[in-house]
Amino acid sequence: MNKAKFLVIQEIEKQLPISLFKSEEDHFSKEKRKIATSIESKIPILFAIAYIILIVVLIMKAPSFYGIFDTTIVQS
């Protein structure tokens, strides 16, 4: 969707006396910065990993009355 918007902007700029978007694009290409979408696509993965680690830590610290990893043998 973003690519389509940028193509429309470029088409409009061809009809204008100045190309602001093209100038901005040239500055970013000189700086060799990462594209925001490549960074933004990794954020959900990082959050998923953080939540998995949090859940594992909470399970490992859970009291035995939760019944999780309870290894005690009950004798009657």
**How high is the pLDDT of residue 34?**
64
21: in domain: no
46: in domain: yes
For 32-63, the pLDDT digits (tens) are 666 667 778 889 999 999 999 999 888 887 66
CA dist list (Å): 36 to 2, 9, 40: 12, 19, 6
69: in domain: no
55: in domain: yes
Q: Which of 26, 29, 30 is nearest to 13 (CA)?
A: 26
66: in domain: no
Total of domains in the chain: 1
**How high is the pLDDT of residue 57?**
86
| Residue pair 21/13 in contact by the 8 Å Cβ criterion | yes
Residue 49 belongs to what domain range?
31-61
8: in domain: no
Query: Alpha helices, DSSP H only, in 16-70?
Result: 20-31, 36-40, 43-60
pTM of the model: 0.40
CA dist list (Å): 55 to 22, 51, 62: 47, 6, 10
2: in domain: no
71: in domain: no
For 13-35, the pLDDT digits (tens) are 888 888 777 777 777 777 666 66
